């Protein structure tokens, strides 16, 4: 066991650092520490620009194989990249859905044509992706999706509704789970379609969250179209592909998320020092607990990242979502308790919230989206611990 990095890896670190120092400034200065979950809708245009700058310098998709435009870096280098990106205050990666979800899915399941068409603009930061999985009646029960696609000539024609789609307004493409066999049930008869967003058959309606912001949207498909070749992994084979997408996430990118958490924690520590609650023994305990918890998220991630490529992620892999969402939820409460009465006062009317207030409110969705805590616990019990379904 070794938590330090080799000389070569440290050289890579310097390279990353130099790029960020040279580029994350000027017009991009204001992006520092912005974006990411809860703040995903902030500075989107500028972050798209930033994504292109990254792409031109070859810093998008660095973990992808070289043949697909990546750098093929090791997991350790990914860790280093994330550490440095965060240390520099790099903004929430606008292209992360393409880079971490769609890209790996195409690399694994896509046709040569699909790879050729779709991977390069992800690497360059030219095209953004969003995810079309959840529906109003298919949340925890994802297999209940009702959005339908039928082949009309050379095109899939899509009818239905997706929900909780983030960055839908800015995305060029969406990967959409559709029922392509009208007589099918549950996870059979579903296809994984790639659908262009800029077309008349698609309407995007923002969902106002309790923060007053609209990070998520509903996406209505009313005769939306995509070419018949834009199906990944075969017609009616989409469930397998969708589940595969989830498995590609090894967690290097969670280090970026942890960095956001660390920034938030530092804000709270500063606030506590300033308002004197850093002397309150209860608050001290809870701040220490939050600090320990964040360390644990990091070491959990490092353990997962140290698993050999292709090997089972093990029990520790299964707890990741539950662990970070609970951490963030508890942290949000702590942040408000540190602020005390001031926690209820917004920065400005009508509802201009500071970052801690946003984190507090937004963290309540952390335990819900991408598999509620309850679903996560089912999955842990059934898959990691082998407990029976019924």
Partner 1 sequence: MHFRFNEEQLELGRAARRFLEVESTTDKLRAAFGSDELYDAELYRRIAEELGWLALLIPEEYDGLGLTAVDLMPILEEMGRSLYRGPFFSTVCLGVNALLLGGSAAQKEEILPLVAAGEETLTLAYSEPHGRHEIDAIETHFEERGDEFVLHGVKRYVLDGVSADRVIVAARSKGSVGEEGIRLFVVPGDAEGLTRKRLPTLDISRNEAELIFEGVRVGRDAVVGADLDGAALLESILDRARAALAVEQVGGAERCLDMAVAYSLERKQFGRPIGSFQAIKHKAADMLWKVESARSIAYAANVAAASDDGLLLRELASSAKAYASDAYFFCASENIQIHGGVGFTWEYDPHFYFKRAKASEELLGHADFHRERVARAMGL
Residues designated catalytic? 249
Q: Closest separation between CB of residue 4 and partner 1, Å?
A: 7
* H or E element, residue 369: none
Helix axes 75-87, 7-23, angle to 10 degrees: 40
Looking at the Cβ atoms of 137 and 285, the one nearer to a second copy is: 285
* 127 versus 135: smaller Cβ distance to partner 1: 135
DSSP 158: E
Q: Is 140 in the site for a second copy (CB under 8 A)?
A: no
Residue 120: name its binding partner from a second copy, partner 1, none (Cβ under 5 to 8 Å by kind).
none
Residue whose CB is less far from partner 1, 198 or 292: 292
Binding partner of residue 19 among a second copy, partner 1, none, CB under 5 to 8 Å per kind? none
Give CA–CA dist 120/110, Å, rounded. 14
What is the footprint of a second copy within residues 49-108 (CB under 8 A)?
none
Given candidates 153, 182, 200, 281, which one binds a second copy under the rule CB under 8 A? 281
What minimum distance in Å lies between the beta carbon of 291 and a second copy?
17
Question: Which of partner 1, a second copy, none has residue 23 at its interface (CB below 5 to 8 Å by kind)?
Answer: none
**175 within 8 A of 162, measured Cβ to Cβ:** no
Nearer to a second copy, 281 or 310 (CB): 281
Out of partner 1, a second copy, none, what residue 137 binds, judged by CB under 5 to 8 A for its kind, is partner 1
Angle at 303 between CA 300 and CA 304, to 5 degrees: 90
CA distance 89 to 132: 29
Element (DSSP H or E) covering residue 299: helix 281-305
CB of 275 to partner 1, least distance (A): 7
Could you say which of 45, 66, 282, 345 contacts a second copy (CB under 8 A)?
282
Place of tokens 């050289």: 11
Q: How far is the CB of 186 from a second copy (least distance, A)?
A: 19
In which region does residue 161 sit, left (phi positive, over 0), alpha (psi from -120 to 50) or beta (all else)? beta
- CB nearer to partner 1: pick between 235 and 384: 384
SS3 state of residue 87: helix
CA 63/CA 99 separation, integer angstroms: 9
Residue among 143, 131, 74, 77 at smallest CA distance from 103: 131
Site string for a second copy, 283-322 (x = CB under 8 A): --x-------------------------------------
Q: Which residues are near a second copy by CB under 8 A? A: 281-282, 285
């Amino acid at each position: 066991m070794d938590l330090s990095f080799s000389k070569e890896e440290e050289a890579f670190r310097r390279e990353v650092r130099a790029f960020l120092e040279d580029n994350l400034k000027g017009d991009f200065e204001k992006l520092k520490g912005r974006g990411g979950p809860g703040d995903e809708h902030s500075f989107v245009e500028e972050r798209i620009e930033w994504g292109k700058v990254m792409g031109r310098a070859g810093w998008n998709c660095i973990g992808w194989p070289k043949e697909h435009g990546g750098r093929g870096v090791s997991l350790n280098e990914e860790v280093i990249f994330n550490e440095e990106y965060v240390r520099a205050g790099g903004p929430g990666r606008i292209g992360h859905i393409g880079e971490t979800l769609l890209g790996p899915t195409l690399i694994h399941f896509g046709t040569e044509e699909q790879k050729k068409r779709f991977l390069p603009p992800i690497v360059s930061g030219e095209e953004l992706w969003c995810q079309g999985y959840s529906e109003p009646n298919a949340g925890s029960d994802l297999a209940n999706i009702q959005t339908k696609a039928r082949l009309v000539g050379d095109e899939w024609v899509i009818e239905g509704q997706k929900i909780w789609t983030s960055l839908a307004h800015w995305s060029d493409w969406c990967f959409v789970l559709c029922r392509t066999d009208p007589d099918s049930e549950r996870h059979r008869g579903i296809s994984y379609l790639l659908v262009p967003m800029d077309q008349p058959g698609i309407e995007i309606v923002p969902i106002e969250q309790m923060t007053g912001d609209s990070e998520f949207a509903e996406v209505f498909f009313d005769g939306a179209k995509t070419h018949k070749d834009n199906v990944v992994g075969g017609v009616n084979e989409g469930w397998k592909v969708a589940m595969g997408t989830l498995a590609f996430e090894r967690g290097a990118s969670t280090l970026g998320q942890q960095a956001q958490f660390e920034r938030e924690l530092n804000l709270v520590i500063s606030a506590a020092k300033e308002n004197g609650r850093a002397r309150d023994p209860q608050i001290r305990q809870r701040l220490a607990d939050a600090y320990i918890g964040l360390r644990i998220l990091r070491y959990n991630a490092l353990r997962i990242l140290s698993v050999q490529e292709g090997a089972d992620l093990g029990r520790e892999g299964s707890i990741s979502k539950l662990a970070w969402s609970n951490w963030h939820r508890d942290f949000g409460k702590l942040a408000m308790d540190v602020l005390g009465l001031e926690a209820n006062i917004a920065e400005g009317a009508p509802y201009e919230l500071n970052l801690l207030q946003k984190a507090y409110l937004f963290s309540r969705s952390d335990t819900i989206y991408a598999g509620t805590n309850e679903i996560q616990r089912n999955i842990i019990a059934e898959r990691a611990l082998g407990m029976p379904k019924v």
